Amino acid sequence: MTASVHAVASADLADADVCERALDRVRDRLSRPIAETAATTVETDCPGFTLLVSLAGGTRAGFDALGERGLPAEDVADAAVDACESWLDGPGVVDAHLADQLVVPLALIGGSVRVPRLTAHVRTNCELVEAFGYDVDVRDEGDEGAVLSG
């Protein structure tokens, strides 16, 4: 699995090398090979910065972080890398945010998927499909995540 890393900052932040500093930090910390990096500056009405680490190869996953005033670019990069590494080391095959979107297809066509944890969104979507007469089995396995089955 390889990574692509994209940093986008407002042109007002170009002199601070925000994109380059964040990309350097990701290169130092990410456990996967990086196939592509991109640093883009854009004209905006107010300063801002975002970073995306995306993985491809067998599956696709993305992890992002937003900059904010006073937060160093390196800390933004750390947040994205930490989320990525946590997912790579975790028990789920999809991330916690995608899990809630899979509840309806599981209820309608069946199957199962391991997720890193049960979020409030997953529980709410399970209750919603049950209100329509469909079943999704939720098996919480503690540190090993959870399994959703339809």
pLDDT tens digit at each of 150 positions of the chain: 899 999 999 999 989 999 999 999 999 999 999 999 999 999 999 889 999 999 998 878 899 999 999 999 999 999 999 999 998 998 878 887 888 899 999 999 999 998 888 889 999 999 999 999 999 999 988 888 889 998
pLDDT value of residue 50? 96
Q: Domain map of the chain by residue range?
A: 2-89, 96-149
pLDDT value of residue 39? 97
Any idea what DSSP says for residue 132? T
Query: Which of 10, 121, 147, 149 is the catalytic position?
Result: 121
- Cα–Cα dist 65/41, whole Å: 16
User: Is 121 a known active-site residue?
Assistant: yes
CATH for 2-89?
Answer: 3.30.360.20
The reported pTM is 0.82
Give 63's strand partners: 53
Answer yes or no: are the C-beta atoms of 138 and 118 closer than 8 Å: yes
